[in-house]
Structure 1
């Protein structure tokens, strides 16, 4: 968006996602993290005692999240929004091709917006949250899952060390992910009430570092940073990165771990029915009296 730092090459990301979706037909993609997020969203929403007649799944990918939420009786119409037209082929129901940074919805037109593992790749996250807030009705709910700062920390370290050793300097290869405390603050800045940000660390194992890198590529999640090195990765660099990964993080038996941090954001658009914090000075009991030591009974 105009004025926002262009950390990610959004057009490159869309074209790569289109290419992979066309090559695979959207089937058999490694989407275990998105399945985990979809199940978590469904569990959280099942605990909310209200209906959501019109919902949007933002950054819908192949419609997996929306498909899971359609099983909930409180969810009405779900619209999948995704910038990659080819990825939307498998999505069922209403679909809109649009970028997560430019929502095509009128103010106060939605009851629920969910986003599964998409918003950490936008260039203007505060702006995107403000747009989501604006599109939601009063007492509307935003529920989003983003990858947090611990994600792929092993891979990041291995690439930095390998590039420094082979090329004499490192270039950005793994996307910068936000800290859970920063994300909670962004919700407040975007105008959401009752903001909550919680983190879940997921550790999975792979047969080898190369197997992990191949899966990241298959998910269309490999390097899309604007400042990425444009020259092809050499075999020497690739093998050295894999070797360092194995040496530093390898498990007994030869497999390697990979860490993913999923940060889930929850925020409500302000409404008069919501709980309000007490006015400063309105407490009826003095904190001094509460903390005062009590005499022991004899």
Structure 2
């Protein structure tokens, strides 16, 4: 049996269609961070592909890139690119490992994959406030905030996809909103509303959000009577295998212990 899809792709398309330019600030921040990381690579990339449903946030920084619409099957051809970027979409993929595998196959040997998406600490305050309010009012929970993977889980995608020299790091972005309604409007403008297949599809009583706002304000206060909210960006990078890349030593090939190496280094410094 095929497992039911976690995300509703029709709802995703509708959410993205509602997104506004004012909600692109995290997309733009992610793009700036990718550019900074590329500066450290010391290589000119000539054939770039970017998987994104918000091309307006990426096309200026990468004017010659091939922009790929996010889908279960990506419009990528094997071995055609020296850089593939999966931009702010892995957190809403039904098959994230399949996405990274497709990107890896699209790389030429020694090509670079880079990914950025929301990580597990994103909207932790909103998740907590809504869960507590719903438990108090209804005695149960509904899926209201997308579950997002932690950095270790996302980093493992690189190895599972067969990419070499995998690296994962994260960037926490603290923000503040006037209230929960302001935050939810911003998420709507970002195209990041709830698209889980199991989400409640009937009208939600206002009392839930009133209660959640009270909990939010009490547990996660910010300056000037605002509420604090965290966004967590996880950045991934890995290389298509190539003979020129550093290789791990074979088991049993080490002839000195770490202690011996440290003692020798200390001795040489003393001389």
Decide which of 137, 142, 167 is 1:196's aligned counterpart: 167
Q: 1:195 to 1:290 in 2, by over 3 A?
A: same
1:12 aligns with 2:11: yes
Distance apart, 1:202 and its partner CA: 0.8
Q: How far off is 1:288 after superposition?
A: 4.9
Among 9, 33, 39, the alignment partner of 2:32 is 39
Structure 2's unaligned 5+ residue stretches are none
Distance of 1:66 and 1:282 partners within structure 2: 48
- Report the counterpart of residue 87 of structure 1 in structure 2: none
Kept in 2: contact 1:160–1:170 (CA 8 A) = yes
Q: Which residue of 2 aligns with 1:220?
A: 191
Q: Note the alpha carbon deviations across 1:54-102, whole angstroms, 9 max, x for none.
A: 11110241331232234xxxxxx3011225xxxxxxxxxxxxxxx1x21
**Matched residue, 1:81:** 68
Distance 2:252 2:39 in 1: 37
Query: Partners of 2:23 and 2:16 in 1: how far apart?
Result: 13
Displacement of 1:34 in angstroms is 1.2
Query: In 2, are the aligned partners of 1:57 and 1:66 still within 8 Å (CA)?
Result: no
Any idea what the Cα deviations from partners look like across 1:4-50, whole Å, max 9, x if unmatched?
A: 551111121112322x15xxxx5x33222111111111111122222
Rounded to whole Å, the distance in 1 between the matches of 2:89 and 2:66 is 16
Deviation of 1:232 after TM superposition, in Å, equals 1.2
In structure 2, what is the equivalent of residue 102 of structure 1? 73
Q: What residue in structure 1 maps to residue 207 of structure 2?
A: 236
Q: What is the correspondence of 1:9-158 to structure 2 with a 5 Å cutoff? A: 9-18=8-17, 20=18, 26=20, 28-70=21-63, 77-83=64-70, 99=71, 101-158=72-129
Structure 1 distance, partners of 2:259, 2:217, is 57
Does the CA-based 8 Å contact 1:5-1:123 persist in structure 2?
no
CA positional deviation for 1:226: 0.7
* 2:261 paired residue number: 290
1:181-222, Cα deviation, whole Å (9 max, x unpaired): 111111101110000011111101112221111111121211
SS for the counterpart of 1:52 is coil
After TM superposition, give the deviation of residue 249 of structure 1 in Å. Answer: 1.0
How much has 1:286 moved relative to structure 2?
Answer: 3.8
Structure 1: runs of 5 or more not aligned: 71-76, 84-98
Report the TM-score, using the length of structure 1 for normalisation.
0.83
Is 1:279 matched with 2:266? no
Indicate the structure whose relative CO is greater, using CA pairs within 8 Å and at least 6 residues apart.
2
TM-score, length of structure 2 as denominator length: 0.91
